[in-house]
Amino acid sequence: MRARAVGDAYVLLDAFSEDAQGEISEEVSRRIHALARHLKSLALPGILDMVPGYESLLLIVDPSRAGREEVIRTVFSAAKKISEAEEGSKRQSNGRELSAERVIEIPVCYGGAYGPDLAEVASLHGLREEEVVSLHAGRTYPVYMLGFLPGFPYLGGLDPRLHTPRLSQPRTRIPEGSVGIGGSQTGIYPLPSPGGWRIIGRTPMRLLGPEGDIPYRAGDRIRFVPISQDTMEEMLRAQGKEPEAAEPERDETQVCLRVLQGGFLTTVQDGGRYGHAGEGYTECGACDGELAAYCNMLCGNSPDMHAAVLEMTLTGPDLLFEEDALIAICGFGLTPFLHDLPVPLFQAVRAKKGDVLHVGSIREGNRAYLGIRGGIRTRPMLGSRATDLKCGIGGWKGRGLLAGDRVPVAGRGKMDAEIPMAQPWPVPCLEHHPRVRCTVGPQAEKFTPESVELFVSESFTVTRETGRMGIRLEGKELIAEGGYDILSDAVVAGSVQVSDRGKMIVMLCDHQTVGGYAKIATVISADLPLLSRLSPGDTVHFVPVTPGEAEEIRERTPWLSWR
């Protein structure tokens, strides 16, 4: 096993077995999950989350609690203890398995409208469709990891006769329950999503419950059971509508913001959701962490509160205050009004009971943030109030705000605080052509030396395909030797993925947790807000720094402690 620094807040552990590098191995997967379980049981303060891959384990580290070198020493010590215990168990059991595996059966309707790529997969391999179904459903698959989407199982053991390249152009939307093949892997899409796998069928089984529950976990095995189209449609009709998440409990001191109109997309966000990346849940949270942190600082919310704010995209909402409040709005190119008076940006102001806030258009930077003393007080989901739009959880009912919503905020006792005077860091700025710092890797070795040099010497242009998940860039093609596909491993905010035809996507807060494209670099945390503010036509120039320099920059970036 080796440990590599990635960006300023990650440690990538890989090469768990020299013999298994580049191949899917149950033995390697078992070792990875054993180490992840052990590290989770230790509850180390420096490790926020873990993302297992086929042959890697990514640790999300909080440098303010523990340095990366300290974390690495602890991990290697834990791995040694696990290895010693494993050898002892093998001797005691004489090679026999010590525990039974769970087998989860998944009904699947293959082909037709539910499996649009089945015929093509069959043709590529010189098989009949019935043979593809027989081969796919004839095995029991180990669940190596969950990722990409919450509850998306990456399954091993696919018959080599079904190994099929991903689509050269990913679909923009794959329906919930779709069963696909990508290279030597197979899996299930638990939610509607973009994706590049070949879809051969679909299951009517609901894979993600309203409380985030998932019917399987890493280490289980899955068996696909073919069903007819009639059975498929009958099972879909029997499911009915999923209930909405329960509203938070109210108390006498709690007050609300009444939504008169919700704007283009207004969501509740905080510093992010950690501790569940291994189940496929990304951190979400504020896309522009610096602006959100500045709001909280202006409102007097302490750094350890992780107070939730409203993130407003393109156009903001109209809000009625049901009680006096201390608020701050941070953003660029907007002119909000409070009770018909203009509201200064990057400054704490008082709103009175009955005041109406009109935010209006956000003409620059894509997003603006509204902070309030004590924070937005919606019900936490999996330890965070962040809205996960893909899963429909967190925030306010897992969605953007709509007219008629009454969003809970801190109680009356929080509203009478003094306006903070000190501003510990400068007002954020908007740049249309930023120089964005990054560490090279973790898969830079897959690219030609000329492409790596091109990456740090040229500027790249932002396309219209931008959002909370990431931004797509256009420019000179980056060439990967042997193709852009890798065995799926962890993706983080700041990962610079290069897909087929050498096009780049820089991941932001709603990124998938794992992916199968090579990553040429990782943008450091301090510069992610610069990317979130970019609009189509803006340009980016990447500047390489060492992992050590990235850590030093993080230590000098005060807003990161206020997330």
Q: CA-CA distance, 332 to 148, in Å (whole number)?
A: 32
Residues contacting residue 436 through CB under 8 Å, at least 6 positions apart: 523, 527, 530, 531, 540, 541, 542, 543
Could you give the 3-state DSSP secondary structure of residue 322? coil
Question: What one-character-per-residue DSSP string does 68-104 give?
Answer: HHHHHHHHHHHHHHHHHHHHHHHHHHTT--SSPPPEE
> Which residue's entry shows tokens 């809000």?
319
Characterise 103 by phi-psi region: left (phi > 0), alpha (psi -120 to 50), beta (else).
Answer: beta
Using CB atoms within 10 Å of the CB of residue 555, give its burial: 0 to 12 exposed, 13 to 18 middle, 19+ buried.
middle
Residue 412 has a pLDDT of 57
Within 10 angstroms of residue 34's Cβ, the number of other Cβ atoms is 17
**Cα distance between residue 323 and residue 487, in whole Å:** 53
Give the pLDDT confidence of 155-166 residue by residue, as tens digits: 888 999 999 988
Helices (H) and strands (E) in the chain, counts: 9, 33
Cα separation, 227 vs 200, in Å, equals 13
Show the tokens assigned to 4: 């590599």
Residues 6 or more apart in contact with residue 49 via CB below 8 angstroms: 59, 60, 274, 275, 276, 277, 278, 283
Gap between the Cα atoms of 66 and 195, Å rounded: 36
Res 2 pLDDT > 70? yes
Q: What mean pLDDT is predicted for residues 286-311?
A: 87
- Cα atoms in the 13 Å half-sphere on the side-chain side of 297: 23
| 482, amino acid identity | G
pLDDT of res. 23? 64
Task: Find out whether 519 and 498 touch, Cβ atoms under 8 Å.
Answer: yes
Which CATH topology does 103-239 take?
Cyclophilin (2.40.100)
Segment 162-218, tens digit of pLDDT: 999 888 778 888 999 999 998 888 999 988 888 889 999 999 998 887 666 788 887
pLDDT surpasses 70 at 338: yes
pLDDT digits (tens, 9 = 90+) for 213-234: 788 887 789 999 999 998 998 8
Name 559's bridge partners. Answer: none
Comma-separated ranges of CATH 2.40.100.10 domains in the chain: 103-239, 435-562
Asked whether the beta carbons of 148 and 191 are under 8 A apart, the reply is no
Instruction: Confirm if 261 and 318 have CB atoms less than 8 A apart.
Output: yes
pLDDT interval class at 89 (50, 70, 90): low
pLDDT at 26 over 70: yes
**DSSP per residue over 382-447, as a string?**
TTB---BTTTTBSTBTTB---TT-EEEE--GGGTTPPPP---SSPPP---SS-EEEEEE-SSGGGB
The pLDDT of residue 479 is above 70: yes
End-to-end CA distance of the chain: 32
Question: For residue 434, is the peptide bond before it cis, meaning its omega torsion is within 30 degrees of 0?
Answer: no
Average pLDDT over residues 493-506: 88
Question: What average pLDDT does this structure show over 8-18?
Answer: 77
pLDDT at 417 over 70: no
**Is the predicted pLDDT of residue 399 greater than 90, yes or no?**
yes
> Between the CA of residue 323 and those of 231, 259, 296, 405, 407, what are the distances in Å?
54, 14, 19, 16, 12
342-358 pLDDT tens trace: 999 999 999 999 999 99
Q: Where in the chain is the domain with CATH 3.30.1360.40?
A: 2-93
**CATH T-level fold of 435-562:** Cyclophilin (2.40.100)
Would you state the pLDDT for residue 263?
95
422 falls in which pLDDT band (50, 70, 90)? low
Confidence band, pLDDT 50/70/90 cuts, at residue 15: low
Entry pTM? 0.79
424 pLDDT more than 80: no
Task: Please name the residues in contact with 542: beta carbons below 8 A apart, sequence gap of 6 or more.
Answer: 435, 436, 437, 438, 455, 456, 460, 496, 521, 523
Confidence at residue 247, expressed as pLDDT on a 0 to 100 scale: 41
60-69, 228-237, 504-513: segment of lowest average pLDDT? 60-69
The CATH number fitting domain 2-93, selected from 3.50.50.60, 1.10.760.10, 3.30.450.40, 3.30.1360.40: 3.30.1360.40
Task: Report the range out of 275-279, 409-413, 432-436 with the highest average pLDDT.
Answer: 432-436
Contacts of residue 207, defined as CB under 8 A and 6 or more positions apart, other chains included, come to: 151, 176, 177, 188, 190, 214, 215
Confidence of residue 22 (pLDDT cuts 50, 70, 90): low
Mean pLDDT, the chain, integer: 86
Q: Does residue 382 contact residue 285 with C-beta atoms inside 8 Å?
A: no
